[in-house]
Structure 1
């Protein structure tokens, strides 16, 4: 009978099926997108971890411009900014950049300048260390990057929130340190808005060409934009741009605003 014949055939196949070699999987290995190393800093009095994204597909020996970023730990903003640069370089909307992420130890100490506002000083045991942090970048980190990697003289910096405050403060105090400054929702409320007031009253002296882009979310300080545009928009040598993102919050603005800024300021030449 056909049904019995079919059952017998299936039964004969079962031993063979049970003897088939099981599927195997390789052992897990770390997934790397760049380099990570530490540097002992005299300026900061501690050892700092540095994470570096090296663009793929670039001919060996090609010098690359460098983007520095505070909040550059693997559990901070490093991975998503590296992703933006990788996708932008891949689709031709952004020039390839070496990304240098500085992992935090005491974030609120390093990214804030001095303050006369008592409430500001309650956010951390120590604040006001931005100049020491800038000294670390200028005198220790940048020379180490130039020693380890083939780089051009072009430098950019990107940061959000307190890191955005540091970006704007650096333009005000040491405008020659970077060529492109990108500040996402910068915490310009620090020290009673003194940095914003200073820039509105007197833009920094610029040698050559520099670019500053500021983006504010609905949680930011868009009311400072008119005075900044009136002052910085007329500063010789400075390309100032500003964009409001009322549909984004402080927690959501970094990724979309950085993508748009990268495409506008770092596009292929």
Structure 2
């Protein structure tokens, strides 16, 4: 009993340390939205290298995360892990978490007309249908705030789960240029007789998308939620059918047999980011024999993404140190010149 109690104490202490560390690295800002006519709280985390004095001041892609109250504390360290050296799976990114005030209002694309099965005079989700305003807030007010106060690249990703996943796909359909890539975890595509599915069908028919757009969709098993699982399955299955015969969007669907609705966003966000940035990782050992390979791979990756990505100065420093330590003098010289070409003020 005493051993169990000690383990609980140690666990609680470790969790407290994680929470304190996380909070120390988060900027919590409040901005007033004229579009929504209310104050919104935003949580911002910048990469490790953002304030480094050892490298030139860089710009970073931005990830916009819905339901920050639930997702921020695990997505923040996830991004740092995925961007780690010497094998980064993605570039370092600024994380912007959006907390909720009226989640149903903001994330649903149409007004609900569904009557309560208990009380036919009551409309379920009555305060719904505000997705267009919420998207306008993010695009015209929040993005401007982030761009004016942080060093950002013009590349952004939207992450959402459940109603947030519904909002994410609806934003892709209605405003594909708002973001470069989208991750929707177990999206509530059953909403309003699958209205977003019909929007997507029409948008594809009208040629609304380019190949540089990315969409990752995760689906949970939800075997323990039989009461509403049927509608969820139908909505997602119909969406998959719509996207199965198109080549306008870089799309991947992944089914998680051992996950439920409330847990799928963790593996979904992890694998979704790896899908979007597939091809970003390079093999540092191969670069020792073929240093030109780095430029070739980044060029191919940038063409796939529809946006120019360059190896970070921090990563180039790591490569140079690796070449120096292992006596690859010619490759070291090559990367020193390459680094000088990209970051003129760094050497």
2: CA distance between counterparts of 1:224 and 1:125?
21
Alignment partner, residue 245 of structure 1: 256
Q: Which range moves more in the overlay, 216-225 or 142-151?
A: 216-225
Aligned runs of 1:104-183 on 2, under 5 Å? 104-119=100-115, 122-183=123-184
2: CA distance between counterparts of 1:34 and 1:60?
22
The one of 41, 44, 55 equivalent to 1:52 is 44
The one of 20, 34, 37 equivalent to 2:29 is 37
Alignment partner, residue 332 of structure 2: none
Alignment partner, residue 90 of structure 1: 84
2: CA distance between counterparts of 1:181 and 1:259?
13
2: CA distance between counterparts of 1:33 and 1:151?
18
Comparing both structures, which one devotes a greater share of its residues to strand? Answer: 1
Larger Rg: 1
Alignment partner, residue 70 of structure 1: 66
Comparing both structures, which one devotes a greater share of its residues to helix? Answer: 2
Q: Which runs of 5+ in 1 are unaligned?
A: 1-28
Over 3 Å counting, the alpha-carbon distance change for 1:111 and 1:61 in structure 2 is same
Q: What is the TM-score with the length of structure 2 in the denominator?
A: 0.64
3-state SS of 1:90 partner: coil
Alignment partner, residue 101 of structure 1: 97
Question: Does 2:197 align with 1:205?
Answer: no
Give the Å deviation of 1:247.
1.7
- Answer whether contact 1:66 1:151 (CA < 8 A) is retained: yes
Alignment partner, residue 214 of structure 1: 217
Q: String of CA shifts for 1:175-199, please: whole Å, max 9, x gaps.
A: 1100001000001111011212332
Runs of 4+ in 1 over 6 A off after TM superposition: none
Q: String of CA shifts for 1:44-101, please: whole Å, max 9, x gaps.
A: 000101101101034452100011112123xx21111112111111251222111111
2: CA distance between counterparts of 1:49 and 1:163?
17
The one of 243, 248, 261 equivalent to 1:232 is 243
Q: Which runs of 5+ in 2 are unaligned?
A: 1-19, 117-121, 223-228, 281-300, 302-347
